[in-house]
């Protein structure tokens, strides 16, 4: 798994950002036929098996990250970064950014991966990514995350 701090360091100095979120990321990954039986579980005497990668499988995050690294291998680090189902595209100019978005869309389409459009942000000067605000001014913790910690109620009992 990539380290978030190392991922964010690569975004310094960039001018345009797009964030993409895959729709139900894990569920887009088909389980290899011989492995389906390994996902079996029983509820009320009925046997169920996952045909799609389920949340909670011990190797699911690493498997998904490996897939995304493979799909975006030609642009990883130079035009885009990925952390599980969260992709950020970064560019120095608006024109190159539009080309980068198009290229990454084509890579995702070729892999038959779908996006959750209402969670995507396109060609912005400032975006939220991995709990941080990424902008032309630098990288800062997301203020809404800080507020939640600062305003967290102090426990009143040990129960």
Q: Is 70 among the domain residues?
A: yes
Q: Is 67 among the domain residues?
A: yes
| Nearest of 143, 119, 124, 146 to residue 135 by alpha carbon | 124
Q: What local confidence, expressed as pLDDT, does residue 49 receive?
A: 85
The token duo for 47 is: 């046997």
Q: Is 114 among the domain residues?
A: yes
Q: Is 82 among the domain residues?
A: yes
| Nearest of 99, 95, 84, 98 to residue 129 by alpha carbon | 84
Q: Is 33 among the domain residues?
A: yes
Q: What local confidence, expressed as pLDDT, does residue 107 receive?
A: 98
Q: Is 148 among the domain residues?
A: no
CATH number for the domain that contains residue 17? 3.30.70.270
Domain that holds residue 18: 11-125
Q: Is 158 among the domain residues?
A: no
| Nearest of 87, 92, 81, 96 to residue 136 by alpha carbon | 92
Q: Is 118 among the domain residues?
A: yes
The number of distinct structural domains making up the chain is 1
Average pLDDT along the chain, 159 residues, taken 10 residues at a time: 82 92 80 85 90 77 90 95 93 97 97 93 94 89 83 80
Largest Cα–Cα separation, the chain: 59
d(CA 60, CA 53): 7
d(CA 81, CA 88): 5
């Amino acid at each position: 798994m990539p380290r978030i701090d190392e991922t964010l360091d690569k975004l310094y100095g960039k001018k345009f950002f797009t964030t993409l979120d895959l729709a139900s990321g894990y569920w887009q990954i088909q389980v290899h036929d011989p492995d389906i039986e390994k996902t079996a579980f029983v509820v009320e005497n009925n046997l169920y098996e996952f045909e799609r990668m389920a949340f909670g499988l011990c190797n699911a995050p690493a498997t998904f990250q490996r897939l995304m690294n493979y799909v975006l291998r030609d642009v990883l680090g130079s035009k885009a970064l990925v952390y599980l189902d969260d992709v950020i595209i970064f560019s120095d100019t608006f024109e190159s950014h539009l080309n980068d978005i198009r290229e990454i869309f084509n890579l995702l389409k070729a892999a038959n991966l779908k996006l959750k459009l209402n969670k995507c942000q396109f060609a912005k000067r400032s975006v939220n990514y991995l709990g941080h605000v990424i902008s032309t001014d630098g990288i800062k913790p997301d203020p809404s995350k800080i507020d939640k910690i600062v305003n967290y109620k102090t426990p009143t009992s040990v129960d």
